Each structure stands twice: as C-alpha cells, then as structure tokens.
Amino acid sequence: MFNPSWILGHAKISFTHAPDTVELTTKAGTQVPLSDLCEKITPPCHLNPMLFSGHLQTFWTAVDNQDVPIIYKRKLFESDCQTCPGTFAVDFVVRLPSPKDHTLPERTTYYTEDEFGIIGSLDSKPMLVLLHGLSGGSHELYLRHVLAPLITKEGGWEACVVNSRGCAMSKITTPFLYNARATWDVRQMIKWLRKTFPNRPLFGIGFSLGANILTNYVAEEGSSCELKAAVVCSNPWNLEVSSLALQRSWIGLEVYSKIMGGNMRKLFERHSDQILKIPNIDVDKIKKIKYLHEFDRYIQGPTWGYPTEGAYYRDAASVDSLLAVRIPFFSINAEDDPIAVNEAIPYEEFKQNPYTVLCTTSLGGHLSWFELGGQRWFAKAIVAFLMKFATDIDIESSSSGNIDSNGVVVPPRKEPIFDPMHRRLHVPS
C-alpha cells in the first residue's frame, strides 16, 4: 500500500511502553522515566524519498557500498557449555591496523597470545557487546554504522562482536551451528568481560536474529543481568509469525526467504564435515533446500532436537522473554519491515514491562532506514541512546528489581503467575 509520507521521506515515529516506566537517576541527581529518555534522544526520521517502500529500503542494503572502516582483532574462545561444546570467535575493536589475513574478513586479524595476555584493564570506559543478524558477522555494514561514532576518541567506547558459530569465516569444531535462542556464547562472553574489565559498564546491542538472541539472554538473566542497558534493532520477535508472513507472498518466499535460505545453505556447505556428524541429518533433503524454513526444518530441527521448524520458532521466539527483561531496554522496528514483520511485534508485552520501550517508524525496511546521502537513521538513534547512558545517567543509582505500575519496588509474587522464561529446550547447567 502506498504511504503518502514517502513523498518527502518523513516517517512517523511512535512509542509503545508501560504507563509508568522505570525511573533513571541522572548524574545531576534528577529522575527521568525511561520512556522520556528514549523519546527525547530519538531524532526525527527523514529518509531517502527515492527508496519509497520497505522493500526498496531493504533491497538497498545489498547494493550499498559505503566503506565504514572498523579494525578488529579476533580471539577464539572455548565454550564452557557442556551441552554445546566447541569454539566461537569474538572480534574486538582496535585502533591500529595489522597485516592482512586472507583467512578472515577484511581488516580482521588474530590476536597473538602475547597481545591477548595483556588485554585486561581497570579503566572505566563503556563497552558495547554486539550480536549480528542471520549468517552475518562483525564485518556487516549496519553494525559498523553504529560502531564508528562510538569508538572515536570523542566517543570513548570499547566494543566487541560475538560472531555466531560458523559465521564471519570462523570454523566450527563441533556439529553445532548457532540457533535463534543460542544465548550460551554471549553469556560466557559477558561473564569474561566483567572479570577482565571489572570497572567497565557493559551494554548490549543486537541486530535482527542477534536482537532475538540478545532479548532472550537479557530475559534469562533477569535482574542479575550484567548489562546496564540493551538495544535491539529489527528484531523478528515472533519467529513463527515472521516465517509464515514470508511464505504467504511471492516476494517474501522467492526473494527474502530464498536469499536467507541460500546463505544458510552456504554456511552448511562450509561446515558440512562437522554438521554431518549428526546421525539424523538427511543429505538428500538438504540438497533440495531453497528457503529458510526448509533449512530450519532439515538442519536446525535435527541438530537441536526439534520435531518441526514451528516448534523451533516457538521455543526460540523472544516475545514472551520481553516480559522478563529487568534492565533498561530500547527496541527499534520499522512497521514496513518485510522480514521482521509488524504483526510479529509484541506491542501488548511492551505495555506490560516498565523496563522496556518500543520505537516504531512507519517507514524504514529491515536494518535499513537509509537517509539521503547514505547514512542510516537507526544508527543515530542507537548512538544517542548509548551516549546518553554513558554521559548523563548514574547507572548504579537507577531503579532495579520488581516494580509495580507506580514505579515502587515490590517483592516477587508467590501465587501462581505466568513465567515467561519456562522454556521448552532444556540446557543443563
């Protein structure tokens, strides 16, 4: 449907949240509701009027060839999860380039043992932990648009990207790729960061599927979460709803689902020697995979013990998890996103949790929001949110725990209540 606001590229911005959101204490000693903070830092959304639909905005991500140079050094971590052993790759932002390594993405090299041995620090710089989207990695342009202004001398941030297993030219050492609720690697990484940089306030951001994973992680940690705040962008939220929406239109099935399915099949082919160690993988069916839901049916399901892709999507979805979030949490979605569709966004759940604020725009596509000149609006909104926390909010003095509709801390309820984190997939500690 034609949206008249595209004539000028001016998107409507809407906010959804509880009537009374958690109160944050500023360094000046005043109180500000999380909802007010989010609304004040969010810039007007003026997008490129030539990209006049969510499809065009999303397609443009494939042809955008800007160079936002971010330099990384990679470290491989051995998983401490007994159920999901193996290694995962973390790329740390650094300032000085190293000789090119053709086995890694551009501007990425490995830490030497000596370099990594002295990485610990007592400094109090804010540090960002990033999770990328489906089959992506630290090299993704949408991710670098957010990093670039934060890691300048003026921004003063440190950052690292937790690459999903098998992504960003990393190798898997066990038959497990990542999945949409694989929170164990980011949990281990954040624990390691807290120990290695004890004075740094930690923040998290997730993009698309990484947003779903980050939401589940924050919810699983509850009030014990080590992150001071989190941002998610283009979260698909209800994975089953989003999958079905893709399948019911030609462009959804033959363009988006086909491209994403192809990317995941390439990922499988790159790591097939490991994945085929799983006895119930049907190679003949894998050869015929065209769409994303087929990949999840024939590879993710057998790998993780799900009988159908629907069971996987329902278990991995972050809709219910949102209710268990207990840190300041800012979400950005576009209502015309053809992948993380509007009908999958948990509007009512946002109204129930005072720790959460949802920002939706009438225009923008998936991880896109291109402005005239090629900049991305979402990056400006995210950076403004993070910088506000780093510079103006007294994080340790802000509210935590369970709060009622008036913002008053109350003890946990003891009568039967809905438990959003009673997950079906059992991962032994």
Q: Note the pLDDT tens digit of each residue in 288-309.
A: 999 999 999 999 999 999 999 9
pLDDT recorded at residue 405: 42
pLDDT of residue 398: 63
Residue 357 one-letter amino acid: V
pLDDT at 162 over 50: yes
Alpha-carbon distance 388 to 275, whole Å?
44
pLDDT at 89: 97
Contact call for residues 171 and 110 (beta carbons, < 8 A): no
Q: Is the pTM of this model over 0.95?
A: no
* Mean pLDDT of the region 331-348: 98
pLDDT band at 406 (very low <50, low <70, confident <90, very high): very low
> Is 424 strand, coil or helix?
coil
What pLDDT, on the 0 to 100 scale, is given for residue 385? 98
Q: Which residues of 127-156 are buried (b: 16+ CB within 10 A; e: fewer)?
A: bbbbbbbbbbbbbbbbbbbbbebbbeeebe
Choose the catalytic residue: 315, 337, 362, 399: 337
Cβ–Cβ under 8 Å, residues 342 and 326: no
Among 208, 234, 242, 243, the one annotated catalytic: 208
Q: Has 64 been annotated as catalytic?
A: no
Answer whether residue 408 shows pLDDT above 60.
no
In whole angstroms, how large is the CA radius of gyration of the chain?
Answer: 21
Determine the pLDDT at residue 356.
Answer: 98
Least confident range of 60-74, 131-145, 159-173, 248-262: 60-74
Main-chain phi, psi angles of 212, to 5 degrees: -65, -45
Q: What is the pLDDT at residue 280?
A: 87
Measured distance CA(398)–CA(26) in Å, rounded: 8
Helix, strand, coil % (nearest 5) of the chain?
35, 15, 45
The mean per-residue pLDDT over the stretch 70-94 comes to 95
Burial class (CB in 10 A: 0-12, 13-18, 19+), 25: middle
Encoded tokens for 399: 């509210």
Asked if 130 and 168 count as a contact pair (C-beta separation under 8 A), the reply is no
Catalytic status, residue 426 = no
* DSSP secondary structure code for residue 219 in this structure: H
How far, in Å, CA of 46 to CA of 8, rounded?
A: 8
**Domain 7-238+324-397 homologous superfamily, CATH:** Alpha/Beta hydrolase fold, catalytic domain (3.40.50.1820)
Instruction: Find the mean pLDDT for residues 418-425.
Output: 72
d(CA 396, CA 391): 13
Angle of CA points 80, 86, 92, to nearest 5°? 80
Per-domain residue ranges of the chain: 7-238+324-397, 250-316
Is a pLDDT exceeding 90 seen at residue 413?
A: no
Query: Do the Cβ atoms of 34 and 355 come closer than 8 Å?
Result: yes
Tokens of residue 365, six digits: 């596509």
pLDDT of 236 higher than 80: yes
Categorize the per-residue pLDDT at 64 as very low, low, confident or very high, splitting at 50, 70 and 90: confident
Please report which residue ranges of 271-359 form alpha helices under DSSP H: 272-275, 283-287, 292-295, 301-304, 309-316, 347-352
Above 60 in pLDDT, residue 423?
A: yes
Residue 291's alpha-carbon distances to 61, 263, 268, 288, 296, in angstroms, are 20, 10, 14, 9, 9
Over residues 203-216, the mean pLDDT reads 98
Q: Rounded mean pLDDT of 101-125?
A: 95
Sequence-ordered strand ranges (E) for 247-393? 329-334, 356-361
| 279 confidence band (pLDDT: 50, 70, 90) | confident
Is-catalytic flag, 394? no
Q: How far apart are CA 412 and CA 406, in angstroms?
A: 16
Would the pLDDT of 271 be above 90? yes
The residue that leads in pLDDT, 423 or 406, is 423
Of 424 and 71, more confident:
71
pLDDT over 60 (residue 3) = no
pLDDT band at 389 (very low <50, low <70, confident <90, very high): very high
Q: Indicate which residue of 91, 366, 398, 399 is catalytic.
A: 366
Nearest to 134 by CA among 359, 326, 316, 279: 316
> Cα 81–87–89 angle (5° rounding)?
120
Residue 158's H or E segment, with its range, is: strand 158-162
Quick one: average pLDDT of 258-285? 92
Structure tokens at 349: 């759940």
Give the residue from 47, 31, 41 showing the smallest Cα distance to 334: 47
Q: What is the mean pLDDT of residues 197-214?
A: 98
Give yes or no for residue 286 having a pLDDT over 70.
yes
- Please report, rounded to a whole number, the percentage of residues in the chain having pLDDT higher than 90: 83
The rounded mean pLDDT for the chain is 92
340: pLDDT strictly greater than 50? yes
